Amino acid sequence: MIRFPDRAAFTSALNALPHPDALAIETAAARQAQLTKPPGSLGRLEDIALFMAGWQGTARPRLDRIRAAVFAGNHGVAAQGVSAFPPAVTAQMVANFQAGGAAINALARVCGADLHVVPLDLERPTGDISVEPAMSEAECFEALNAGATMVGGDIDLLFVGEMGIANTTPGSALCAQALGGDASLWVGRGTGVDDAGIGRKIRAVSRALALHGSACDTPFETLRRLGGREIAAMAGAILAARMEHVPVLLDGFICCAAIAPLAAAVPSFTDHCLAAHCSAEAGHALLLKRLGLKPLLHLDMRLGEGSGAAVATQVVRCALAAHREMATFAEAAVAGAL
């Protein structure tokens, strides 16, 4: 069980990231070369099979146990008028998740994921990042560990999602702080704010960067000051997954923003991650590019909840079905290339 009791544990995890199993990748690649298709003709499905082989440590990777963890949090910065919806919607949507009526419930059912919904202190919003740090040190560790708790070595694939009215604002702040560029580069419409709302978001993010920027000297401190509980929980889950060699499907803008500080510090951090999709949120395409990730899908989704990742599990399922089930040239008595 991976836990992050203090800053030293978090930093040492980040500085000792495990790598994929090179032998499993080599064996899987040798199998792919034998399968009844022209080499490379399954395109990125072949890369996905090798990625899964490397992280699962087997040449025949499987997708029987998908864990989905959706974290919810509320944000003090909502008071700056940065969302098209009121903060009460966060708890209302958690109730909807628990009743089985949200998009992620339907999508998790289709992909066979074991869905966990984790509300994080919803009645206690984080500090407004434009005037104070989002979380105390203790609150940030609690959130990171709420994420880590969702991970065990007994899962084939993890995806994380979030629900948090106003969380595209801390998401944008994390991107700007970790990857550079000013607020306007990273701010988008989120749930659908108008132009005046965009102006308020840019001002809130700019103030947050001016206030906290020089103090954000570690990934932990950046998450603590500019993030949020569900954001830190996603970062904790994705880091814990890496420690347990569990591959991860990333969801949308906020999910990717959560790991931007970690990836900025340790570029190989995203090696165990696939980007499920490119969200319609303005900054996501640039964020994925800066993280070195090529999304599997472009569906103009911008829901969050892990919804894009749930859809992309089907692509992974197809990749593994082909890899596991196809006959070799010898088995099928098909002639190889000239």
Ligand X SMILES: O=C(O)c1ccc[n+]([C@@H]2O[C@H](COP(=O)([O-])O)[C@@H](O)[C@H]2O)c1
Ligand Y SMILES: Cc1cc2nc[nH]c2cc1C
Task: Give catalytic residues, as residue numbers.
Answer: 305
Of 163 and 248, nearer to ligand Y (C-beta) is: 163
Of 85 and 329, nearer to ligand Y (C-beta) is: 85
Of 244 and 251, nearer to ligand X (C-beta) is: 251
Q: How far is the CB of 208 from ligand Y (least distance, A)?
A: 21
Q: How far is the CB of 162 from ligand X (least distance, A)?
A: 5
Residues that bind ligand X in the complex, under the rule CB under 6 A? 83-85, 162-169, 190-191, 193, 251-254, 279, 281, 284, 302-305
Alpha helices, DSSP H, located in 114-267? 137-148, 168-179, 183-186, 195-212, 219-226, 229-243, 253-265
**Residue 252 near which of ligand Y, ligand X, none (CB within 5-8 Å, type-dependent):** ligand X
Q: How far apart (Å, rounded) are the C-alpha atoms in residues 306 and 113?
A: 11
Q: How far is the CB of 42 from ligand Y (least distance, A)?
A: 33
φ, ψ dihedrals at 11, nearest 5°: -65, -40
Contact 251, 158 (CB under 8 A): no
Q: To which H or E segment does residue 290 belong?
A: helix 284-290
Residues that bind ligand Y in the complex, under the rule CB under 6 A? 85, 89, 93, 163, 191, 303-305
**Residue 284 near which of ligand Y, ligand X, none (CB within 5-8 Å, type-dependent):** ligand X
Of 265 and 297, nearer to ligand Y (C-beta) is: 297
**Residue 168 near which of ligand Y, ligand X, none (CB within 5-8 Å, type-dependent):** ligand X
Q: How far is the CB of 67 from ligand X (least distance, A)?
A: 19
Of 52 and 163, nearer to ligand Y (C-beta) is: 163
Of 84 and 266, nearer to ligand X (C-beta) is: 84
Residue type, 199: G
Q: How far is the CB of 117 from ligand X (least distance, A)?
A: 13
Q: How far apart (Å, rounded) are the C-alpha atoms in residues 160 and 294?
A: 18
Q: How far is the CB of 90 from ligand Y (least distance, A)?
A: 8
φ, ψ dihedrals at 100, nearest 5°: 90, 15
**Residue 166 near which of ligand Y, ligand X, none (CB within 5-8 Å, type-dependent):** ligand X
